[in-house]
Amino acid sequence: MSQNDDEKNSRVVPGTRRGRLGQFGRLAGGLAGGMLSEGARRLAGGERPRMQELLLTPANIGRVADRLSHLRGAAMKLGQMVSMDAGDILPPELSQIMARLRENAHAMPPKQLEAVLAQDWGQGWRRNFRYFNPRPLAAASIGQVHRATTRDGRDLAIKVQYPGVRESINADVDNVATLLRVSGLLPQQLDITPLLSAAKDQLREEADYQREAQQLSAYAKLLQGNDDYIVPGLHEDLTTTNVLAMDFVPGRPIESLEEEPQDVRDAMMERLIDLVLRELFEFRLMQTDPNFANYRVAEDGKRLVLLDFGAARPVSPAISDNYRRLFLAGLAEDQDAIAAAAIEAGFISHHAATAHADSFNTIIRVILAELAKPGPFDFGDRAFVHTIREEGMAMAQDRATWHLPPAEILFVQRKISGTALLAARLKARVDVRAMAEAKLAATSSATST
């Protein structure tokens, strides 16, 4: 790739609040112009379009995705989070925006990268390296990763945070929430203030690379001696609040397993599901971001490389116990106990469960029927999802019963749901029931501690 190609694939990240606000302003202006143009075209054709139809045109969808990708930071991260959390139930228009946001962001131009590293490492930082590739291995929502070799021979992956990300979190989250409100995709009466507050807190944690370094070390200790996983080693001498230095671990995207035999896909997903169960019931520490890019397959094709611990957070005893009760009720195939556990945990309100008892009970029955099938659970068989989606959407039509679960539940469930989506992508077959029974039995002494 030539220098001109690098320039085409990089865009300066707005590093000030004013600059980022200006980007949202340009987005709003572009959307308004697109709505007027589309409205005039449809009126001329004799149509009477609704506001949402004018807003969510293909051209406006492109404008939103492009602008959020340019902003990176919390704006892009929120889009990725929504797309991963609700992949099966998003309106098709929003799904298009989010699918584009899951792709790599534009990288910082070399001059901006130099300035960021000079601020954290000092002007002569290049003297510490034999090699530093200015072209990133990956560019995501909060930072980009570079390959480097130090003078003393360490082969490193260096994660560099985009400028202005930490300072703009509050404004970015509020602006994206406003965008969703205006689009009509969120009802005006739904109070999302607690969720927005939790999202801001988590994003601030993810933007603190010193904190991520601590979580990286914690996971390395928890998984020490386990040959199924690789956690990159931390290099504290080069790690700052905005730069994270760790071992470079060669590997390939976990999605590449789609081309592998069934037993290989099954074995890798079994490792990942086992890790989720350990996080929930044993470690009580969970990496809550299930983005596929956070997992890679090691060169030996057997071990799972774990990356990105910015979203790692403690799992409280109360949340762990709530999931324990829910799992035990499911394993016992006790529909009433499942309903009670789901309400107690906050997944659904008592009002919604009562008002829509038929739909709620249908969802539980469908899930139980799938879990009761003999042999490994076939994640590739998605036929049952249609029924769950239909019943869930029927419940969602009653906006008076809309309910937001506690933020901590949402973060944990995001990891569980994202893991299931990856298993579906790989069409894996895993005996989840046996794994859950074994883990619950092995950790029973931890209950109520």
Full pLDDT tens readout for the chain, 449 residues: 444 444 445 555 444 455 444 444 444 444 444 433 433 343 344 444 344 443 445 455 555 555 554 444 455 555 545 544 444 444 555 555 555 555 545 678 888 899 999 999 999 999 999 999 999 998 777 889 999 999 999 999 999 998 888 887 887 777 767 766 665 555 565 667 777 788 788 888 989 999 999 999 999 999 999 999 999 999 999 999 999 999 999 999 999 999 999 999 999 999 999 999 999 999 999 999 888 889 999 999 999 999 999 999 999 999 999 999 999 999 999 999 999 999 998 888 888 889 989 998 999 999 899 888 888 999 998 888 888 878 877 787 776 777 778 888 888 988 998 899 899 999 999 999 999 999 999 988 545 44
Name 199's Cβ contacts closer than 8 Å, sequence gap at least 6. 74, 78, 81, 173, 407
pLDDT at residue number 388: 83
Distance of CA 161 to the CA centre of its chain: 18
Shared domain for 240 and 264, answered yes or no, is no
Shared domain for 430 and 306, answered yes or no, is yes
Cα separation of 100 and 102, whole Å? 5
Shared domain for 214 and 80, answered yes or no, is no
Shared domain for 257 and 285, answered yes or no, is yes
User: How many distinct structural domains can be found in the chain?
Assistant: 3
Whether 8 is covered by a domain: the verdict is: yes
Domain of 370 in residue numbering reads as: 250-449
Task: Single out the residue of 261, 157, 262 nearest to residue 209, CA to CA.
Answer: 157
pLDDT at residue number 197: 83
Q: Does 289 participate in catalysis according to the annotation?
A: yes
> Roughly how many angstroms between the first and final C-alpha of the chain, as a whole number?
56
Whole-angstrom Cα Rg for the chain: 23
Cα separation of 291 and 441, whole Å? 29
Cα separation of 188 and 182, whole Å? 9
Shared domain for 120 and 238, answered yes or no, is yes
Residue-by-residue DSSP string for 110-144: HHHHHHHHHHHH-TTGGGGEEEE-SS-SEE-SSEE
pLDDT at residue number 92: 53
pLDDT at residue number 256: 94
Shared domain for 267 and 356, answered yes or no, is yes
289, 321, 398, 431: the active-site residue:
289
Asked whether the whole model's pTM tops 0.85, one would answer: no
pLDDT at residue number 390: 83
From residue 108, how far is each of 77, 145, 215, 274 by CA, in Å?
Answer: 17, 11, 26, 37
